[in-house]
């Protein structure tokens, strides 16, 4: 497993809002160690039996939280992220979508400078099945196991995770990196973490059209990753120049097409599924080969 486990202490920035409150309740029910909520001006109140503090600094001092999941409107996201960093939070999971790219760029720069980690924005979050859920992922479709997942697409994460679970292929940790062109943690860093993780045997990488992150990841896999990697690219039928769902999912200048990404995967020795359901079949086959080795 990577990033989070059963001992991770999580705070929720924006816990008293509609989305924050709803998902705080779900995360608690899953078993995540949610220690507090943070909403300026609401300090001294409670949400789902948890204390609410006015600031992240106070929350860290009182609870020892090391992870923050952020549910705030786009115009407040940069300030919320910077406040978490200044308080010493090690992992920020930023769920909010629609954040101005310049705000994300500022936050990403500060995250790198401070040696912290940012998942998102515009992402479903992170889950280590059976231990900790941080974000909006539907926990019931995941199961503990040996498959690490990295995905740009929330809904595809769910579809493929369910197919893996139904096939008896549990997951070590699943990370939704988000669909914005500017984001925190990316494929390469997560591939390195999964490659070094003793609880992960096979890695699933779910990409989509737009940008060149998947091509770069494929080159990194060939050079550095020793474990089997199964890839899937969404957007094979997308017309060029049209944004499909995510801000980062746009093809321009002939780059970022599904074909170019699939070709890069194949050229660099990855297993490539052409449909989401094929991913589970390929993962099962990769695990069989590992067992024979």
Instruction: List pLDDT tens digits, range 132-166.
Output: 999 999 999 999 999 999 999 888 999 999 999 99
Does this chain's domain 9-119 share its CATH topology with 138-292? yes
**Quick check: 188 and 205 in contact, CB under 8 A?**
no
Supply the residues annotated as catalytic.
Answer: 246
Residue 153, pLDDT score: 86
Give the confidence band of 293 by pLDDT, cuts at 50, 70, 90. Answer: confident
Average pLDDT score over residue span 71-84: 98
Residue 237, pLDDT score: 55
Chain segment 231-249, per-residue pLDDT in tens = 999 866 555 555 555 555 4
Contacts of residue 99, defined as CB under 8 A and 6 or more positions apart, other chains included, come to 74, 77, 78, 121, 122, 180
Residue 212, pLDDT score: 86
Average pLDDT score over residue span 47-57: 98
Chain segment 175-232, per-residue pLDDT in tens = 999 989 899 999 999 999 999 999 999 999 999 887 888 999 999 999 999 999 999 9
Domains of the chain: which residue ranges? 9-119, 138-292
Residue 249, pLDDT score: 47
- Looking only at the bridges linking them, the beta strands covering 67-70 and 117-119 are unpaired
Give domain 9-119's CATH number out of 3.40.50.1220, 3.30.70.420, 3.40.50.20, 3.40.50.720: 3.40.50.720
* CA proximity to 178, closest of 90, 259, 268, 104: 104
CATH number, domain 138-292:
3.40.50.261
- Looking only at the bridges linking them, the beta strands covering 125-128 and 171-176 are antiparallel
pLDDT > 90? residue 100: yes
CA distance 149 to 244: 22
Give the confidence band of 252 by pLDDT, cuts at 50, 70, 90. Answer: low
Give the confidence band of 292 by pLDDT, cuts at 50, 70, 90. Answer: confident
Provide the mean pLDDT of the chain. Answer: 93
Higher pLDDT, 254 or 96: 96
């Amino acid at each position: 497993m990577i990033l989070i486990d059963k001992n991770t202490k999580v705070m929720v920035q924006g816990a008293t809002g509609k989305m924050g409150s709803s998902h705080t309740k779900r995360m608690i029910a899953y078993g995540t160690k949610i220690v507090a909520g943070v909403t300026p001006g609401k300090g001294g109140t409670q949400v789902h039996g948890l204390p609410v503090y006015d600031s992240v600094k106070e929350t860290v001092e009182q609870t020892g939280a090391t992870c923050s999941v952020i549910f705030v409107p786009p115009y407040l996201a940069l300030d919320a992220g910077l406040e978490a960093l200044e308080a010493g939070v090690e992992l920020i999971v930023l769920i909010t979508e629609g954040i101005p790219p310049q705000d994300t760029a500022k936050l990403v720069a500060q995250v790198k400078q401070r040696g912290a980690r940012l998942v998102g924005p515009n992402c479903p979050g992170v889950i280590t099945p059976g231990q900790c859920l941080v974000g909006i992922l539907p926990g019931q479709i995941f199961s503990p196991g040996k498959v690490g997942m990295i995905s740009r697409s929330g809904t595809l994460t769910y579809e493929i995770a369910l197919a893996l679970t139904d096939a008896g292929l549990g997951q070590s940790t699943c990370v939704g990196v988000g669909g914005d062109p500017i984001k925190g943690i990316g494929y390469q860093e997560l591939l390195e973490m999964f490659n070094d993780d003793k609880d992960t045997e096979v890695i699933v990488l779910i990409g989509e059209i737009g940008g060149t992150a998947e091509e770069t990841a494929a080159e990194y896999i060939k050079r550095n990753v020793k474990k089997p990697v199964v890839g899937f690219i969404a957007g094979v039928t997308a017309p060029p120049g049209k944004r499909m769902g995510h801000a980062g999912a746009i093809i321009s200048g002939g780059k970022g097409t599904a074909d170019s990404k699939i070709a890069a995967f194949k050229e660099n020795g990855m297993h490539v599924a052409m449909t989401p359901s094929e991913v589970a079949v390929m993962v099962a086959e990769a695990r069989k080969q590992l067992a024979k080795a």
